[in-house]
Amino acid sequence: MTADRAASGRPDRGGADFERGGTGHRTPEIPVVLSTASVFPERTADAFELAARLGYDGLEIMVTSDPVSQDAEVLKRLSEYHNVPVLAIHSPCLLITQRVWGTQPWIKLERAAEAAASLGARVVVVHPPFRWQRDYVKDFENGLAKLEARTGMTFAVENLYPLRAGSDVAAWAPNWNPVELEVSKATLDLSHTAVSNSDAIDMAKRLGSRLGHIHLADGTKSGLPDEHLIPGRGTQPCRQLLEMLPGMGYNGMVVLEIGTRRAQNSKERYNDLAEALRFAKAYLPSVPVHG
């Protein structure tokens, strides 16, 4: 922490490798956001610090077993202190978060929507149901539409992957691919397209106006594991997707959801997150700032 920052009690963004908005004359029209999952095994609170230092436009909170990620009041205080808005909530729908906010999937989504609303976020990311959640599967598409109408929140269903590339068999139902679901908005994850051996550009085009959210990461091959590499380090069309977004009329955000758990120390993690941000800002078309 710098002396000025310590004196003011506010975060200092001046030590970042680059400033928000690049040169100061042009700024991305599409927000570039950091997922708190990208800092693991560091904690949710650390993500606010890193996002502030690096100049990310906001955070997507992955709700996990970390108590901070579950507490909207604590998140609000962190957001205000670091001057980093929370722009999206990722509901706790992973296997390892099956007991976070209880075990009932609709209650989890209700709580995610409440947290998002209290923080001023506009998007809740949700996975398709696990195949064994039969009642949830049966009502997923209609139930999600009703929940959106009642809460005014966007629920963006994320693409996952089959158990084997080229197969339709997956752990999720009614479908792992939101292109095939009757949902209003979808999240396109480019690490997941690598696992499923899907054409990410084709998926984006087929989703059209239903493309509401993006998890930007990279991958190298079909099949597990899900790599979540820094964009540009794999085979996915990360640059091509970013460059085509304005022409699609995309009005969502780009969330960097990369894996840094193999970083040897905090400095290496910082550099990885900086590289991911540079990639996104380099290839997102920008617009002039007026005034």
Please state, in angstroms and rounded to a whole number, the distance separating the CA atoms of residues 83 and 58: 9
* Confidence (pLDDT) at 9: 41
* Confidence (pLDDT) at 223: 78
What's the predicted TM-score (pTM) here?
0.88
Instruction: Let me know how long the chain is.
Output: 291
* Confidence (pLDDT) at 289: 41
* Confidence (pLDDT) at 25: 40
142: Cβ contacts below 8 Å, ≥ 6 apart: none
* Confidence (pLDDT) at 274: 98
* Confidence (pLDDT) at 28: 56
Q: What is the CATH number of the domain that holds 52?
A: 3.20.20.150
* Confidence (pLDDT) at 165: 60
251: Cβ contacts below 8 Å, ≥ 6 apart: 30
Greatest CA separation for the chain: 58
pLDDT along the chain (291 residues), means of 10: 37 35 51 97 97 98 97 98 98 90 95 98 97 96 98 97 73 96 98 95 98 97 88 97 96 97 94 98 72 39
Please state, in angstroms and rounded to a whole number, the distance separating the CA atoms of residues 232 and 136: 37
What's the domain count of the chain? 1
* Alpha-carbon distances, residue 72 vs 76, 86, 112 (angstroms): 6, 10, 10
Query: Residue 26: which domain range?
Result: 3-288
* Confidence (pLDDT) at 22: 38
